[in-house]
Structure formats: structure tokens, C-alpha cells
Structure 1
Amino acid sequence: MKHPVDVHVGKRIRHRRWMVGMTQQQLADSVGIKFQQIQKYETGMNRVSASRLWDIARTLGVQIGFFFQGLSEDESAADAETDILANKEAMELVRAYYAIPEAQRKRLFDLARVLSDAA
């Protein structure tokens, strides 16, 4: 049975990997394991050891604490369907957004805010 913390950490690994545009194979190569192991981490099937999480964090350019952000006391109540970042289309949109130069990104953000208020 998957532990909710392992599932949460795995989701955060997958989200960050998507954000930086890295494949499972690229991440696996960087930390010296097979891509199948990354798949198991991302689904929560396997736990990530502390040293492996350290390597993954370094490769993905985040602090270890990143993988635990948003973790609640009752993580079992969290549902993957309610997690907007579990949607691949949403993640692609976020990645594209951050690829836009900062000045234009701010203007796009302002436009999105105005459009959402009008809806």
C-alpha cells in the first residue's frame, strides 16, 4: 500500500521535472538510476531515500523542503483530481508561462486576472 507522504513527494518530483522540461530518463541518468525507478518514485510505489532525494533536489534545482510543501497532517484526504498541477495540460501552461520574458509575463498575468474577474 502506498504511503500518502510517498505519493505527495512523488507528485512534487514529477511536477518539478515537468517544470524544468526534463524527461524521466534525463533525471534518472543524472542521479545514476534507471528511469523505471523514477517512475516508481513519481507514483509513490517506492520510497525515495534521503540521499536519493538530495540528488534529485540538486538535479532539479530545488531545496529538499520543496518536496514536502503542501503536505498536510491528513494527506489521505488529498485527492489527485483536485490537484490542478496533476493535470499535464496545466503543467505545460505553467511551463510556457515561465518561458515568457518577465515584463511580458507580468502583462499577461494582469490580462488573465482581468479576464477571470470579468467571467
Structure 2
Amino acid sequence: MLGLSQQQLASMIGVTYQQAHKYERGLNRISAGRLFEIAMVLAVPVSWFFEGLQEDGESQPLGMRQRMCLELARNFAQITNEKHQEALSQMARALAAQSQGRPVD
């Protein structure tokens, strides 16, 4: 979502690209300390990694809406022109207001 490559994330948390890849694919477990470091680098609470887990530890697959939100966030992060980002943000705000029957600010 932040537009980071595995190499960039690996560098930020002090591991090799290969290790970061193993973490992402679930081949290696992540210690609590490392998970905390990753959360700090990504500026999210540790609990973010557990969202969507059920009581039995099984995860729910991402729904289509969640996938679209992730894709939108990734694409937005890749826009380098601040005016374009602001225009897209205003358009999303206007569409959201319209779908809820509110006037656009």
C-alpha cells in the first residue's frame, strides 16, 4: 500500500531481501520483536497485521472491495504530482458525497 518494494522494506527493517520475501510468503515465522519493527516502519499498529483473523486463527480471504481499496491505495501512492493527488482526492470525496445524497463541499 505504501509503494515499497521488498528490497526497500528489507533495508528499512535490517534484513536481506530473501528474508523479507520469506516473511511475506509465510515461509519463515516473524518474531514479536521483528513484527513490532515492521509495524513501526510501516507506521501501523501491530494489531493491523491481525485484522481479518477469526478466533481459530484462520484468515478470511480479501473481498473484492478490499482488493480494490488496496489497489487504489497502491496506485495513489505512485502518483508523484501533488496536484494530481489532490484532484483525485477531491473527485473521490465528491463521488462519496453524491452516493450518500449529500451536497459536495
Common topology (TM > 0.5): yes
Query: Could you say what the CA RMSD is over the residues aligned between the two structures, in angstroms?
Result: 2.9
Cα distance, 1:97 vs. partner?
Answer: 4.9
CA separation in 2, counterparts of 1:62 and 1:77?
Answer: 19
Query: Would you say how many aligned residue pairs link Structure 1 and Structure 2?
Result: 92
The answer for unaligned runs of 5 or more in structure 2 is: 80-84, 101-105
The answer for unaligned runs of 5 or more in structure 1 is: 1-18, 115-119
Asked if the contact 1:97/1:105 (under 8 Å) is kept, the reply is no
| Max Rg structure | 2
Which of the numbers 56, 68, 72 marks the counterpart of 1:93? Answer: 72
Structure of greater relative contact order (alpha carbons < 8 Å, 6+ residues apart): 1
CA separation in 2, counterparts of 1:52 and 1:32?
Answer: 10
Moved beyond 6 Å, runs of 4+: none
For residue 49 of structure 1, what is the amino acid of its counterpart? S
CA separation in 2, counterparts of 1:85 and 1:56?
Answer: 25
Which of the numbers 43, 46, 67 marks the counterpart of 1:61? Answer: 43
Larger fraction in helix: 1
TM-score (normalised: structure 1): 0.60
Matches within 5 A, 1:1-119: 19-76=1-58, 78-79=60-61, 82-84=62-64, 91-97=70-76, 100-101=85-86, 102-110=89-97, 113=99
Cα distance, 1:54 vs. partner?
Answer: 1.1
TM-score (normalised: structure 2): 0.66
Q: Percent identity?
A: 37
